[in-house]
Amino acid sequence: DGGITQSPKYLFRKEGQNVTLSCEQNLNHDAMYWYRQDPGQGLRLIYYSQIVNDFQKGDIAEGYSVSREKKESFPLTVTSAQKNPTAFYLCASTLNRGQPQHFGDGTRLSIL
Amino acid sequence: QKEVEQDPGPLSVPEGAIVSLNCTYSNSAFQYFMWYRQYSRKGPELLMYTYSSGNKEDGRFTAQVDKSSKYISLFIRDSQPSDSATYLCAMSARSNSGYALNFGKGTSLLVTP
């Protein structure tokens, strides 16, 4: 079955530590997105990538970094510069051109 | 003003009721409109997708888009306890960020047996 796989499901970060969230899709989608979801605030765009080896900052990119070396993969690194990283992180993908985005089941990141 | 406004609820209805969920928006460039359902600790699941104005029906679900009023709706007929979830409206247009979605904050729905 085609879909988007996010791992791990739960992640804990220590102070000063960088952590990487994985997102893999086998839908052959061109575009991939990372969103952050906080209670009462909806989903906010962190980074997006429309093609391999290219990505753009979203609305809240500070303290995050990404790479897009393969079409199937779009990992997100939460760096120590992100002072409030506790949130639910969602990865999505789409064929682009206005097609709906499909989501993974998210990674919940907490601070130790 | 936020681009997409959605009443967070919570909305509680008895089983079998008709549910009406709504969003308003300010950006007249939005062309693509979606409704997602999200269960606790899961990713959003696409329910309905509409391009431009009009109605779309899929089983118990009907989506309506009124671009002149900048208003979209989702109707759920014969609601079931399994419909209890958070419903997110989302919309997009061609922009510098490709087709990145703009989300409402979500409406929490509880259907009681």
Query: Tens-of-pLDDT digits for all 113 residues of chain B?
Result: 568 999 888 999 999 999 999 999 999 999 999 999 999 989 999 999 998 888 999 999 999 999 999 999 999 999 999 999 999 999 988 776 677 889 999 999 999 99
The Cα–Cα gap between A93 and A97 comes to 12
The Cα–Cα gap between B5 and B108 comes to 14
Look at residue A105 in the predicted model and tell me its pLDDT: 96
Residue contact B43–A101, C-beta within 8 A: no
The Cα–Cα gap between A94 and A89 comes to 17
Residues in chain B: 113
The per-residue pLDDT for range A15-64, each reduced to its tens digit, is 889 999 999 999 999 999 999 999 877 899 999 999 999 999 999 999 99
- Sign (positive or negative) of CA dihedral B80, A100, B58, B2: positive
Look at residue B81 in the predicted model and tell me its pLDDT: 97
Cα distance from B12 to chain A (closest Cα, Å)?
18
Mean pLDDT of A89-102: 88
The Cα–Cα gap between B77 and B60 comes to 5
Contacts of B49 in chain A (CB under 8 A): 100
The Cα–Cα gap between A35 and A58 comes to 9
Cα distance from B22 to chain A (closest Cα, Å)?
15
Confidence of residue A1 (pLDDT cuts 50, 70, 90): low
* DSSP string across A63-84: TEEE--SBTTB--EEE-TT-S-
Residue contact A50–B101, C-beta within 8 A: no
CA atoms within 13 A on the CB side of B1: 8
Percent of chain A's residues with pLDDT above 90: 79
Residue contact A42–B98, C-beta within 8 A: no
